[in-house]
Structure 1
C-alpha cells in the first residue's frame, strides 16, 4: 500500500483496465464497486454512460486505472457513433480488457474491440439473478466464443466476487510507477462530474425516451470564498414540448431534479453546492459537433 505521504510502494504496478460490454451490463456499477465510491452515474435505463470515465483504485502495490465506457451498440446519430468510438478507443489503449456480460442475457459481441496484445477477461455480472446450476455451463459456452484469458463471476451490485476480481487485476497489470496520487479517485474534471450527476437525475426522474433526447452542459463552476461551489448548467432538449416536461407544472420537475442533483454533487465534492439549471431547446443537438465536444466526446471519430 501507499505510505502515509501517499507515495507508491517500491514494487509498484499500474495499468489501464477497459470495461466494455453491451448497454446496461453494469459497467458503471462495477467501476464504482472497484473504486469503493460512486463516480460513474447509474440508472436502470440502457446507454446511460456517454463518455469515457476513469476511476482510480488501489489494490496492494497496484494502481488500477478503470475506464468506464459507453455500451457497444449499433449507432444511429453522431452522438451514438461518438459514444461507440469512445468505447473502442478505450479498448485499444488498455492493458487488460474486461468484457462485462449480463448473465441473465448472456449476449457477446461478434468481435472484441481493442488491441490483440491486450488480454481479454470475461466477467459474468449479475450472477445473483441467475440459477447457480446455469452459471458454469453459461461461462463455458461464452468462453468458447473468444479466447478469454480468465473468467470471473460477480455481482457488481452486491459486491460478490468483486474483491477477487480486484486482486486478480492487481497482479496482472504491468509493473511501473503510479500515474496519479494515491488519494485521487478519477481523472474527470469536477465540472463534468457535476454535469453527469445532474444527467443522472434526468434518467431517474423523467420518462423512458426523454433522457436520450437531452444533455447537460456545464456552463460555469466557481469556488466561492466560503468554500462552497457555484455551478450553472444548461439542460438541452430537442423540442419545446420536451422543455415543458423537464420544467414540469409550475416548475416542480426542474426543482426536483435540481434538489436531487445538488445533494448528489455536494456529497461527491464534500462541500455546499449552489446549483442553477436552465433548459434550452436546441433541435439536432445530438448531431452538433460543438455540443458533443462540450460533452467530452470526439465527433467525427470512426470505428
Structure 2
C-alpha cells in the first residue's frame, strides 16, 4: 500500500432532486449518473470513483428518499438507506431553494443512528442570494452533530474542490480499491441503459413519467471501429409506447441521437445505436420484472 494514501467510501444522501447526481458527475469529471429535473431519477446505487496520486474516494449516489408508491419505490428507499452501514462518511445534501420538509426530517432521524462523520451539504447556492445562506443552514445545523457544513453549487462547481479536500483529509489511510482510470464500478451496459433512460425522461417530460426502464441487450465492437449497441425501452402501457416512438418514429430518433452522443463520449468510439420499445404491464410492481430489469433487492442488503 502506498504510504499516506487515503481512501474510503462516501454516501451522498438526500431528498429527490437535490443535485446528488450532478455533484457526482462534477467530481469524477464525466457523466456516470443520469440527471433530470424530475424526482427519483436515480434508481440504483451509482458508485463514482475519484482518484488522485494520494487518495481515492468511492462515492455512492443513492436514490432520493421519498414515500414509496410501488415495489420499485420500496427498492429505491431500501437501496438509499442500506448504504449508511457501509461507508466512511455521509454527505447529507439539501436544496438551498427548498425549505426543510418531512423528507429531510426522515433522513435526519435515520442519520442519528450513524456513527460515521456526516457533512451538511447545501447545494444550488447559485440560485439563492448569499444573505439567505445563514438562515438556510440554521434550519438544519442543530439537528445533528455535523462534521462540517459546505454550501456548494454542483452545477457551477463552487466549493466542490474544498469539500473533496475535506473528505480526503478525513478518510483513513487505505488501499487504492480501483485502477486510477476507472470512474465507476458499474458494468458498461448499465451506464449505457442509464444514458438512454435519461434522454427518455428529458424528451418526454410529464407524458411518460417513471414507467420507463431500459435494458441494453447487446454491445458489440465491429471491425470498422464502430460499436453496435442494441437496447430496449420498457414501458407499462401502449399509450406510452406511442409517445416514445412518436409520429413517424420522430421521438425515438431524437432519443437515439442524443443518447448516442453520450455513449460515444463514454466509449471513445463511434456508435451505431438500435432502439426498440416494449410494453410490459405493471413492471414496477412485479418482483419478477424488477429482477429482470436489474433491480435486485439482495444487492442492497
Using the size of structure 2 for normalisation, the TM-score is 0.93
CA distance in 2, matches of 1:42, 1:149: 28
CA distance in 1, matches of 2:107, 2:16: 16
- The residue number in structure 2 matching 1:138 is 136
Map 1:221-260 onto structure 2 (within 5 A): 221-260=219-258
Gapped runs of 5+ residues in structure 1? 1-7
CA distance in 1, matches of 2:32, 2:290: 21
Find runs of 4+ consecutive structure 1 residues off by over 3 angstroms.
Answer: 111-115, 299-303
Q: Is the 8 A contact 2:10 2:87 kept in 1?
A: yes
Q: Is the 8 A contact 2:220 2:227 kept in 1?
A: yes
Q: Is the 8 A contact 2:246 2:252 kept in 1?
A: yes
Please say if 1:65 is aligned against 2:58: yes
- The residue number in structure 2 matching 1:168 is 166
Q: Over residues 89-117 of structure 1, what are the superposed CA-to-partner deviations in whole Å (9 max), with x where a residue is unaligned?
A: 12221110100000111422334446622
Indicate how the Cα distance of structure 1 residues 202 and 211 shifts in structure 2: closer, same or farther if over 3 A, else same: farther
CA distance in 1, matches of 2:288, 2:89: 32
- The residue number in structure 2 matching 1:44 is 37
Q: Secondary structure at the match of 1:110?
A: helix
Q: Is the 8 A contact 1:19 1:66 kept in 2?
A: yes
CA distance in 1, matches of 2:292, 2:129: 44
Q: Is the 8 A contact 1:289 1:299 kept in 2?
A: no
Q: Is the 8 A contact 2:79 2:300 kept in 1?
A: no
Indicate how the Cα distance of structure 1 residues 13 and 40 shifts in structure 2: closer, same or farther if over 3 A, else same: same
Q: Over residues 67-96 of structure 1, what are the superposed CA-to-partner deviations in whole Å (9 max), with x where a residue is unaligned?
A: 111000000100111011111112221110
Indicate how the Cα distance of structure 1 residues 61 and 46 shifts in structure 2: closer, same or farther if over 3 A, else same: same
- The residue number in structure 1 matching 2:92 is 99
Gapped runs of 5+ residues in structure 2? none
Note the aligned Cα RMSD (angstroms). Answer: 1.9
The count of aligned residue pairs is 296
CA distance in 2, matches of 1:89, 1:173: 20
The equivalent position to 2:19 in structure 1, one of 19, 22, 26, is 26
Please say if 1:16 is aligned against 2:12: no
CA distance in 2, matches of 1:234, 1:198: 10
Indicate how the Cα distance of structure 1 residues 290 and 276 shifts in structure 2: closer, same or farther if over 3 A, else same: farther
Indicate how the Cα distance of structure 1 residues 133 and 251 shifts in structure 2: closer, same or farther if over 3 A, else same: same
Moved more, 201-210 or 64-73: 201-210
- The residue number in structure 1 matching 2:266 is 268
